[in-house]
Amino acid sequence: MPAGVAAPLVRLTGDEWRAREAAHVRRADSLTADHRRRASHGEKHPVWDFLFTYYSYKPAVLRRWHPGARVELEDAAGEARAGWRWYVPGSTPGSLLIDHEAFERQMASLARLVELMLRRTAARPAQFDCFGLHEWAMVYRQREHRHPVPLRLGARGTDAVVETHDLRCTHFDAFRFFTPDAVPRNRHSPTRDLQPSLEQPGCLHAGMDVYKWAIKLGPLVPGDLLLDAFELARDIRRLDMEAAPYDLTDWGFAPVRIETAEGKAEYVRRQRAFSERANALRAAILAAWKPSGG
């Protein structure tokens, strides 16, 4: 759509949007069922808990359906969502829609940051030569580590992998967990301020962060895109930990042995696919939120 041209309003009947909402709730509940079961029993998981601790959003956030910007819901004024933030009366009696302009005014700094991260990351060339070594750098020369599972190659073997490879991490929120001895080995020195300039679509963590940016946009992101972003983060997390130095065979995860040529090839193949999925989602979120490009 040409810049400056207002996007048309989409209207959903009560039956239409309630059906979408119900389908969304079923899908969200399915995606979080195992985590909710474990949480109810106080069980920890070294791989999947990350999706709810590092990304500190409860399953209830995923469960709440929003239609996205420029969608008017008929027969909705008597619903609980009439009291939710950013919902306002629509153009017809009893209808509701999201005031995306108010969101962008009141959350201007956040909105600018999210748009910047989505657009710049997608536009930058992807790098496929990091091989997931950020996880190895997080335990380099450190005898205690975050996960209560053994190192697949032991401490010396793990250190040797770091010392015989080139660390090329571009993602600040991975780099900030590097051990002190690993920091000077990294080719880049990411900071929070440099994040918009360094983030690139080959990075697994940048792909997972599409979920974070979707959450931060709240009701402006249609529910299906939010769950797509969560599924992408889940799938990337699997590779992130399969390629990590940990021995997760007891948890049902086969290692991607990035210390070998075969492991590197598998990592890059899957990394490329995730990069494409992440960029498609970035474009879809921007198209739903800012269809005119502005």
Task: Specify burial of residue 60 (Cβ count, 10 A radius: 0-12, 13-18, 19+).
Answer: exposed
In the chain, the number of structural domains is: 1
pTM of the full structure: 0.94
Q: pLDDT by residue (tens digit) across 210-220?
A: 999 999 999 99
Residue 245 and residue 255: Cα distance in Å, rounded? 9
What's the average pLDDT block by block, 10 residues per block, for the chain (294 residues)? Answer: 63 97 98 97 95 94 97 95 96 96 96 96 96 97 82 96 97 95 96 94 97 97 98 98 97 97 98 98 97 71
Q: pLDDT by residue (tens digit) across 90-147?
A: 999 999 999 999 999 999 999 999 999 999 999 999 999 999 999 999 999 987 777 7
Inside any domain, residue 2: no
Inside any domain, residue 45: yes
Inside any domain, residue 185: yes
Inside any domain, residue 5: no
Inside any domain, residue 4: no
15's tokens: 């039956």
Please provide the distance, in angstroms rounded to a whole number, between the alpha carbons at the two ends of the chain.
Answer: 10
Inside any domain, residue 117: yes
